[in-house]
Amino acid sequence: MNLMPALHLGAPTQAGPLTVFPIWTDAPIAPVAYRTSLPADARIDELDDPTVGRLRVTNAGTTPVLLLEGALLDGGWQHRVVTRSMFVDAQTREDVEVACVEQHRWSGGHGQQLARYRAPLAVRGALRGLRVEPLPTEAPDTGIDQGDVWQRVHRYERELGGSETSSLVQLQKRLDAELVHVLAAVRPMFGQRGVLIGAAGHPVLLEVFDDPQTLAEQWDALLSAVALDARLAPPKPTLGARARAFVQRVAAAPLRVADAAGEALAVHADDDLVSARGVATDDRLLHLAVLNAKHQFVLAA
């Protein structure tokens, strides 16, 4: 089963410290059968006995919801980040795996809301166990080390300023206005279904969806998260040759089915440069997020 569509890389735009390459694919376009935002008839809650690593998603509506890896959650007993993408079908309830990105709070309301942000790259690297050196405390079941996640959140706080509860969500909110100029510099093009973002001279993130509308919905969240990382390094354009080589590496990586992601399939591909995670149906790739496993932003702790 070959779920990877052909990826066609376009000419880049420099958006502040980011080099942004559009990507088109050859996958047929079908009506969007899910949402990446949370509709009014869906909710995310703490468990009856709240636990750090798990929340409950109840979708009482008629449209499936795709929760994306790296999505930040605001509220509840503490702010969380979704550790792997989950497809929650209509009229179903699923538990979703999360990690804490607010170390100094364990109280509050029952409900969570999807924040407008995605986690920056170092936190996403921690969710995938991407480190300069493996940590002895790595959890054997998921590869996620909560202490490593907190350490990377603290790094952003040291550089950009912290909050009373050491919340990544609060940090993103505070810096949101400063990233507006980056977001205004480039917008998705007609038919575009993916994007490759370069920072500090190298490709760092590639994301592709099955529909242009979904990319447009996630556009600001994608760029603002990487722009947060790029504030911590001198701006340096990413050359087209490096971007093309990275896309070729991604295209050559065989996608393997890992396990279920709710009512869909979790897929992955890994080598010494590419760390890819995605969600697919039996015959269609819905979303793929690829990190450069050697990039300084992904490994920073």
Statement: residue 138 has pLDDT above 60 = no
Statement: residue 242 has pLDDT above 80 = yes
Longest dimension (CA), the chain: 52
Average pLDDT over residues 126-137: 78
pLDDT over 90, % of the chain:
77
Average pLDDT over residues 233-261: 91
Q: To 5 degrees, how large is the angle CA 221–CA 173–CA 20?
A: 30
Q: What is the pLDDT of residue 143?
A: 63
Statement: residue 275 has pLDDT above 50 = yes
Statement: residue 41 has pLDDT above 90 = yes
Mean pLDDT of the chain: 91
d(CA 68, CA 134): 25
User: With bands split at pLDDT 50, 70 and 90, how would you rate the model's confidence at 132?
Assistant: confident
User: With bands split at pLDDT 50, 70 and 90, how would you rate the model's confidence at 7?
Assistant: very high
Q: What is the pLDDT of residue 32?
A: 86
Statement: residue 48 has pLDDT above 60 = yes
Average pLDDT over residues 36-40: 91
User: With bands split at pLDDT 50, 70 and 90, how would you rate the model's confidence at 89?
Assistant: very high
32 vs 142, residue with greater confidence: 32
Q: Which distant-in-sequence residues (6+ apart) come within 8 Å of 184 by Cβ?
A: none
Statement: residue 136 has pLDDT above 80 = no
Q: Which of 40-54, 125-139, 177-191 has the highest mean pLDDT?
A: 40-54
Statement: residue 99 has pLDDT above 90 = yes
* Secondary structure (H, E, C), the chain: CCCCCCEEECCCEEECCEEEEEEEECCCCCCCCCECCCCCCEEEEEEEEEECCEEEEEECCCCCEEECCCEEEEECCCCEEECCCEEECCCEEEEEEEEECECCCCCCCCEEEEEEEECCHHHHHHHCCCCCCCCCCCCCCCCCCHHHHHHHHHHHHHHHCCCCCCEHHHHHHHHHHHHHHHHHCCCCCCCCCEEEEEECCEEEEEEEECCHHHHHHHHHHHHHHHHHHHCCCCCCCCCHHHHHHHHHHHHHCCCEEEEEEECEEEEEEECCCEEEEEEECCCCEEEEEEEECCCHHHHCC
Beta bridge partners of 195: 22, 207
Average pLDDT over residues 69-74: 97
Q: What is the pLDDT of residue 135?
A: 52
User: With bands split at pLDDT 50, 70 and 90, how would you rate the model's confidence at 139?
Assistant: very low
Q: What is the pLDDT of residue 183?
A: 82
Average pLDDT over residues 71-97: 95
Asked whether the beta carbons of 84 and 97 are under 8 A apart, the reply is: yes
Q: 144-199 pLDDT, tens per residue?
A: 899 999 999 999 999 999 899 999 999 999 988 878 878 888 999 999 999 999 99
Q: Read off the tokens for 41.
A: 């008839």
User: With bands split at pLDDT 50, 70 and 90, how would you rate the model's confidence at 134?
Assistant: low
User: With bands split at pLDDT 50, 70 and 90, how would you rate the model's confidence at 140?
Assistant: very low
Q: Which of 93-97, 139-143, 253-257 has the highest mean pLDDT?
A: 93-97
Q: Cα dihedral sign for 224, 228, 234, 238?
A: negative
The two beta strands, 285-292 and 202-209, are: antiparallel
Statement: residue 18 has pLDDT above 60 = yes
